[in-house]
């Protein structure tokens, strides 16, 4: 390894997961061509990797904020491209980074294109989910379990319930750094493979628990949700007191897959999936966009969630290239319904060329992975560059929305 070439990660090799870094290489030969590689192993032991070829300037320097990749995992100027284009060495794998206490470790290295891929320099980026001072406590109360994240300081802070379809701490941990007390709770227990129904009562318990936390100053909570958990969030807003704001990402306007119960009574039947409408795509992968039954057909209208009865602010977020289902159509249906009821308690954003899996920014873009309900691999949709840009924009919008609607009492 050459001691001359320098690979720097700025402003620091240690940063929060949702912060960009600047990758710079110096002390190369003038106009030297090198390949920069990145690799990371997720929590399930799957290796993800990316690479891009760059030509140094006349001073022997490369700056990923300024310079364009000539070939590799992406082409053009993509400052965070080595992170967002990390791909698995096993097909149809989602990058799993759900445990807040463990950083996302990414190894970067610079290799000489002309000398049999000889390594010239290397550095490791530690991307933390928990900022300094944020606390994490595992929670098992009554009929729910999850993890509670609390910002440093006395507070008071607004409260947010993070509903994830299966347990994930990433979004909650990062939001706590932004000044929210966040409780993350899964909608589905991955161990419970034969779930036949869902109950709202445990989530109501979670809301009560969250509002009782000593640093919480808001009287009502915000909810952030995506996909299946988004229809649970809508149902909580419609049927359970205490919900001030809901962020609905890539969801449905109806109660999907599992019948929904509250106080021992079924309140919504399930909108089901027609497996025969899965569209075969690449080898062993399907497009599920048109497989869900139409909630507006007369026989399915009972599955629609009555959000018009909610005293809640909504942020609806959809993607035009969502291949899991048509979240944009569902979003438009809900907005039209609210307008018909004289409601103005919503705002919306639709991202062109983005896919279903909108996450906090700078994680690896997922092309396809296993669908927990369909029991097969599906395409999620999205063009990587546009999807990444959507995640950066949305992450700021979510924080602004929650701050403006979930406020602490004076």
Catalytic residue among 356, 367, 371, 387: 356
Which among 18, 42, 63, 322 is annotated as catalytic?
322
Q: Tell me if residue 356 is catalytic.
A: yes
Termini Cα distance of the chain: 60
| Residue 277: both structure tokens together | 């409408």
Handedness of CA 226, 229, 234, 236 (dihedral sign): negative
Known catalytic membership, residue 162: no
**Size of the chain, expressed as the number of residues it contains:** 410
Nearest residue to 207 (alpha-carbon basis) of 35, 360, 15, 406: 406
What Cα–Cα distance (Å) separates residue 171 from each residue in 98, 101, 160, 177, 339? Answer: 9, 13, 11, 10, 31
- The tokens for 270 are 């399930």
- In this structure, which long-range contacts are made by residues 339-342, counting pairs with CB atoms below 8 Å and at least 24 apart in sequence? 340/308, 341/308
Is 50 among the catalytic positions?
A: no
Work out the burial of residue 178: count CB atoms within 10 Å of its CB; fewer than 13 is exposed, 13-18 middle, 19 or more buried: middle
Residue 168 near residue 145, CB atoms below 8 Å: no
Q: Which one from 164, 168, 218, 227 is the annotated catalytic residue? A: 227
b/e burial code for range 123-159 (CB count within 10 A of at least 16 → b): bebebbbbbeebebeebeeeebebbbbbbeeebbbbb
Residues that are catalytic? 227, 322, 356
């Amino acid at each position: 390894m050459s001691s001359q070439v320098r690979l720097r990660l700025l402003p620091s090799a240690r940063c929060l997961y949702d912060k960009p870094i600047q990758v710079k290489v110096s002390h190369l030969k003038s106009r030297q061509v090198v390949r920069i590689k990145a690799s990371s192993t997720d929590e399930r032991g799957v290796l993800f990797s990316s690479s891009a070829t760059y030509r140094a300037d006349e001073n022997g320097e490369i700056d990923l904020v300024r310079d364009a990749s000539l070939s590799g995992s992406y082409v053009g100027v993509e400052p965070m491209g080595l992170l967002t284009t990390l791909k698995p060495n096993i097909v149809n794998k989602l990058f799993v980074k759900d445990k807040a206490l463990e950083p996302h470790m990414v190894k970067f290295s610079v290799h000489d294109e002309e000398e049999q891929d000889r390594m010239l320099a290397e550095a490791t980026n530690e991307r933390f989910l928990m900022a300094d001072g944020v606390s994490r406590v595992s929670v098992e109360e009554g009929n729910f379990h999850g993890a509670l994240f609390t910002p440093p300081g006395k507070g008071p802070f607004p409260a947010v319930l993070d509903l994830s379809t299966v347990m994930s701490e990433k979004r909650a941990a990062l939001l706590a750094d932004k000044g929210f007390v966040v409780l993350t709770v899964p909608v589905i227990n991955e161990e419970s493979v034969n779930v036949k129904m869902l109950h709202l009562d445990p989530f109501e318990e979670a809301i009560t628990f969250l509002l009782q936390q000593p640093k919480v100053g808001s009287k009502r909570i915000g909810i952030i949700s995506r996909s299946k958990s988004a229809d649970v969030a809508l149902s909580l807003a419609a049927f359970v007191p205490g919900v001030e704001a809901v962020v609905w990402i890539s969801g449905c306007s109806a109660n999907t897959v599992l019948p929904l119960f509250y106080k021992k009574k079924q309140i919504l039947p399930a909108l089901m999936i027609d497996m025969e409408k899965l569209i075969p795509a690449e080898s062993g992968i399907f497009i599920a966009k048109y497989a869900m039954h139409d909630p507006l057909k007369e026989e399915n209208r009972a599955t629609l969630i009555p959000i018009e009865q909610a005293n809640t602010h909504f942020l609806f977020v959809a993607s035009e290239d969502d291949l899991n289902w048509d979240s944009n159509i569902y979003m438009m249906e809900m907005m039209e319904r609210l307008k018909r009821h004289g409601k103005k308690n919503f705002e919306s954003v639709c991202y062109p060329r983005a896919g279903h899996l909108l996450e906090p920014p700078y994680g690896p873009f997922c092309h396809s992975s296993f669908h927990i309900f369909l029991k097969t691999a599906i395409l999620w949709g999205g063009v990587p560059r546009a999807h990444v840009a959507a995640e950066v924009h949305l992450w700021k919008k979510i924080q602004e929305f929650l701050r403006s609607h979930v406020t602490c009492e004076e």
